[in-house]
Structures are given as structure tokens and as C-alpha cells.
Amino acid sequence: MRDLIDCIISETQSTFIPGRLISDNVMVVFKVMHYLKRIRRGKKGFMALKLDMSKAYDWVEWSFLRAVMNRMGFASKSIDLIMGCVSTVRYKVVHNGHVLDSISPSRGIRQRQKVNYSKSSIFFSPNTDATTRVQICSTLHMSEALEGSLYLGLLNIIGRNKNVVLGFLKNKVIARINSWDGKFLSRAGKEILLKTTNSNKGRGIIWMSWDRLATPEEEGGMGFRHLHDFNLAMLSKQGWRLLCKPDSLAGRVYKAKYFPNSDFISSDLGNNPSFVWRSIWGAKELIRLGAARVIGDGRNTRILGSPWLPSTDNKYVSSTHLGLRTHTVSSLFQPNMICWDADVVCDLFSPQEADLILGIPLSNTARPDCWSWTADHKGNFTVQSAYHLLQSQKPVGLRPNNSNFLRSLPTCVNLVTKYVPISSQCLVFHITAETTTHALLTCDFARACWAVFGWPVTVDPSSTFGYWFELLQNTSDIDFICRATTLCWTLWKARNKVVWNKCNSTVKEVLATSSITLEHWRKAQDKSALLSLSFNNSDEGGELWTPPATNNLKINVDAALFQQDNSYDYGLVARDHFGKFLEGKTCQCNGNYPAEVVEALGIKEALSWIKNKTWNNVELESDSLLSVQAIRSNQNVSSTFGIIIEDCRLLLSL
């Protein structure tokens, strides 16, 4: 049923069907409403009904179900199997400890489609006169939709002032966040929160810029997302569907209006665009950045104006030869074959582009060209990969500034500077103002910890903790820097235990916790230690070649990337069970492909080599686990990697 359900159920049903999204219907509805809103002249008015279904699920007779399946052309055997599943159900009821006779139902679930008139409404185009509106509403027993009416939680008609139209969404988010603020705080924390909100006029405590928080964790940030960029990535998902599925209901509607003679990435914004189209079109450049054509039979990809070259610099052909206009990539193949015509390619393209084209792997099967998302090795679009692709285009930030981080510690002095109405004195001894320097260095308890640590603190009262920390980092002893930094972190945790849990720590406890924390962190960073948990490497991690079974051959394949030269290599070595070298083969090609693609190309070449040599009893060995898993699976992948994997499966089946 899973393979047939898309063909059986109407395309207007966008939910619960693989490959369809409910957002498609939302896009169609908003386009219809945008069309209605623009009809302001003419005698002929238009209207749209918004129907609300009440008690949609009721019952259906088994005889009706059988008749429907017969009408739809189900095979008799399939009908009997389905009817056997639904009509053989038996129920038993236990009443006062006694089991009553079984019940055999003769009907099941059905969608009744009963209209709820009180929640249904009618939209009229502006040129519809008032008398006609009243007559239609009274006849259908429905009310006329007003400007603020909603569809799936969104306004049906969106005007020019987006702040007014979508302001309710912002208010909902703010209300939800405000409801979260105090849920997990102590009574003292809630008191500070309320005082901060009241005294700071809603500004809150702003410790760091959002750009800093959104920096990846490996670069010193928190890994939060830029909301604008993430929203753009989600919009690009709809644009990707318009590009890859132009025959869907939403695709046909938007293509007919905005790009009837091209595709989404070649489209223009157009005149008086709808709010939905303007939003999706805003993500077009992100889609252009990650979209690429995978060449199969070459019939559906234009040579000019399509992103099909395997280059990170420019995926579009820059040649302006007159012979390339209106032609597809298939015209670059040899007659009646799916392989490049090297002479034609070299004559029509520059040497750089010719090398790229001749390096594109072609499939042994004449599968159609398709779109592929280059930010994912499977070629499938995901919002996460689109977001990361967008972030990768931004310049790499500078080394994290430790002083900014240290100013973000919520000491009493820092809280006061953030308009929190509390005392700036130390919360432990209530004598000195609690700065970062005091909390981690000059407090009596901190001094005692540093003395036992072996590095007594000598800090100039006018200097800052940031200056002291920079001096610490300039020392040559990396182990000492790690231990001192961890002690700072442990001292801050000990301070928080006193403030929030009224629990005092001893100097011995702080130093022990610091040592254990550092040891745990080091083990988490040591990948070789993790590997040693699973493997017994007696050869200190070196890989040893193992011979094949007696009278068998073994072919080892490996690949290498040379991104600076925009090229890749792969090599093959054949040996017998004694380890004796029999033959070898290498290949160098131009192009920029991920490692898994090049590894898969090497495996494909090895399989072809085996077939051409008519070797039997051959073992093929590769270090690309991803390629091996893809060959063993039955999943189709819409990318260059997927085409190569399909060819490998075909060669294995011969």
C-alpha cells in the first residue's frame, strides 16, 4: 500500500502521504486568497469557502468498503486480504467479573465530512457587491470572513504592514518565553527576576551579543542559532520543493504564476508578489548555493544556465560558444552512448571546464538527471544542512575574547551593572565587592585554594582578572594552564553552592573536584582512549593487511583528494593469498567531490576491473564504511554518490 498510496489518494490531500507536506496546501490557500484580494474591478465577483469539518470520523459498512476497493481497481486477492483483516475482529466485554459473548462488528471507521456551519466562513473578492454577499451567506448559513480571520492559525489575508499582521505571533512567543522564565528558579531567583523585569523596563539581563552566542561551540560560542538565518533555511525547504517537485499541486500553482518558462532558481520576484512567494523567493540564493544537477542521461539539463559542474567556485558553464545555446548535456555524449565525447568537449569549452566535465562520472544506466543538495552526502535537502551551509559562507570569527567571557560571570558587581537591584558585596563574606577577581582570586577562601594548589595569588588591586588570565595563558606549561583554568571553574561552582544551596566546601574538596573534572575532560577529548575501549591494537593502531582465503585474490582500493588542485585520485592493488603483488591501477581526475564519492568511484572501478579480467573468487577491501553500507542497502540516493552506488550494485549483480 505504501507504494500505491500516492497514486490512489487525491493530490489535494497533503498530509499523511510520504513526499507531501501540509505546508503545500497552506501555500495554495494563501495564493488563492492573494488572487481574490487583487480582484477589485469587473462585474464578476469570486468567492472561496472555508469549511470546518465536525465529527469527521464515524462509521462505514464493510460492504461499502469492499465496493469502494472494487471501484478503485484493487485485485480480488488484495480485497479479500484487507476484508479479512478488518472484518474478523472480535470483542469481548467483562461485566461484573463475567465475560459476555463476543461481539462481531459489521462496520468500522468512516470519514463523514459533516460541515460545521458555525465555524465555516466565506471569502469574497472586493468587487463583489454587498447584496450578493448577504444572499450567499444567508443561503449557505455561513458568515462572511473578516479581515482578521485565520486559517491554520495564520491570517487568511496578509496586507502590506507585516508588523501589524504578524504581530500576534511575536506576542505569543514573548508570552510563552515569559511563562518559562520563573519555572525552575528558586524563590530568591524569582525575586531577582521580577525586580529586574520591573526596574529594567523589560530589557532583561543581556550578558553577551547574540552573534557571540550563535558562534559554534568549537569556536568558543554556545552554538545557538541565528533566528533570521534559521528562518531562511526553513523557507528554502519550500523553495527546494518548488525546484524538485514542480508537478505537485503547489508547484504547478506557483510555477504557472511566477516562473512558467523556467525553474525556481531562475525565477524573478515578479510584479505584486504574494507574501508567501516573496518570502520563499528570498531564500533563492541559498538554494542556488547548494543545488546541483546530477547528470544521468543528460536530456533534462541545459548546458548553459544550469549548475552541473563539480566545482566549488562556479557550478555554471562560463563558455559563450554559439553551439551551446538551447542544447542539453546529452549533446556532449558520444552517439548512442552515455560517455563523454572528449573531442567535442575540448573544442567547446575552456581547458579548465573541459577537465571538470570529463571528470564527471556517468552512470551505466540511463537514469534521468535530477537535482541534488550538495550540503548532504545523500543529496537530500535538510533544514539543518541549509543552515550550516549558510553559516559556512560567513567569514570565520576571530579568536574568542576571554575578557568578554569573564565579564559575563554573574558576580554581584556585574549584576549591578546590568541593572539588577542587589548589593554588590560578596555573598559569602559580605565584606568586599564581589568582582570576578575577588570571587576567583582574592577572596580568603580562593587564596587558600591557590596556596595549596602551589601558585599563591599576587594580584595588583588595580588589575583585572582578564589581565591575570592572559598572563596565565602566556606561560609555557600547558598542563599548568589546564589545571589552573579548571580550578577557576571549580571555585566558581563552589561559590554557587554557597549562594544557592547554603553548602560550604573545603579547600581539599575544591582541589579534588578540580582534579577529577580535568581528568574527565581529558578522557573525553582523547579519541585514542575511546578507541582502545573497543579494539585491542597490539600494533599501536597500525593497520595490517590480511591475506584472502586460499586460491582467492584480494583487491584493495583507496582514494585521495587534492582540493588545492581541484582533483582526486584512486588506486587499486591486486594480490594473491601469499601477498604477492599481481597488478595495480591508478586514475587521476579533475573535479571537487566529497571523500565518499571518490571512494565509491574507486570501488566501481575495482568491480569493473574484476569483470574485465574475468577473475573469480575475489575479495574487495575498502576503508570507506559509508560506501560499503550504501552498496548493501536498498535506499536510492539522489546524488552523484547515489549514481555510483547504483552502478556498483549493478556490477555486483552481473
In CATH, what number is assigned to the domain containing residue 570? 3.30.420.10
- Indicate if 49 and 141 belong to the same structural domain: yes
- Indicate if 33 and 110 belong to the same structural domain: yes
471, part of any domain: yes
Across 222-244, average pLDDT = 91
Decide which of 124, 155, 186 is a domain's last residue: 155
272, part of any domain: no
Query: Would you state the pLDDT for residue 487?
Result: 93
Q: CA 532 → CA 220, 280, 527, 541, distances in Å?
A: 29, 49, 9, 9
Query: Would you state the pLDDT for residue 526?
Result: 67
Three-state DSSP state, 247:
coil
67, part of any domain: yes
- Give the residue carrying C-alpha cell 568549537: 218
- Indicate if 79 and 41 belong to the same structural domain: yes
- Indicate if 67 and 115 belong to the same structural domain: yes
Number of domains making up the chain: 3
- Which residues, listed in sequence order, are joined to residue 401 by a DSSP beta bridge? none
- Indicate if 568 and 503 belong to the same structural domain: no
197, part of any domain: no
- Indicate if 11 and 127 belong to the same structural domain: yes
376, part of any domain: no
Within 262-406, strands assigned E span: 291-294, 370-373
Query: Does residue 514 contact residue 487 with C-beta atoms inside 8 Å?
Result: yes
Query: Does residue 310 contact residue 356 with C-beta atoms inside 8 Å?
Result: yes
Across 197-220, average pLDDT = 64
Could you give the CA distance from residue 649 to residue 321 in angstroms, rounded to a whole number?
38
125, part of any domain: yes
Average pLDDT, the chain: 83
Decide which of 155, 185, 207 is a domain's last residue: 155
Of the chain, the end-to-end C-alpha distance in Å amounts to: 31
Q: CA 429 → CA 189, 406, 445, 457, 498, distances in Å?
A: 20, 22, 10, 19, 11
Phi, psi (rounded to 5 degrees) for 216: -55, 150
Decide the pairing of beta strands 98-99 and 94-95: antiparallel
- Give the residue carrying C-alpha cell 456551519: 117
Query: Would you state the pLDDT for residue 404?
Result: 54
The parent domain of residue 517 ranges over 423-525
| Of 56-60, 233-237, 566-570, minimum mean pLDDT range | 56-60
- Indicate if 49 and 142 belong to the same structural domain: yes
Query: Would you state the pLDDT for residue 538?
Result: 43
Decide which of 155, 181, 204 is a domain's last residue: 155
Per-residue pLDDT tens for 134-188? Answer: 999 999 999 998 777 776 666 767 766 767 667 777 777 777 666 655 455 565 5
Q: Give the number of other Cβ atoms within 10 Å of residue 485's Cβ.
A: 15
- Indicate if 517 and 565 belong to the same structural domain: no
All three cell numbers of 426, joined, read 560578596
- Indicate if 50 and 90 belong to the same structural domain: yes
250, part of any domain: no
- Indicate if 13 and 141 belong to the same structural domain: yes
- Indicate if 441 and 564 belong to the same structural domain: no
pTM score over 0.85: no
Phi, psi (rounded to 5 degrees) for 572: -130, 140
Query: Does residue 548 contact residue 615 with C-beta atoms inside 8 Å?
Result: no
- Indicate if 479 and 566 belong to the same structural domain: no
Per-residue pLDDT tens for 483-494? Answer: 999 999 999 999
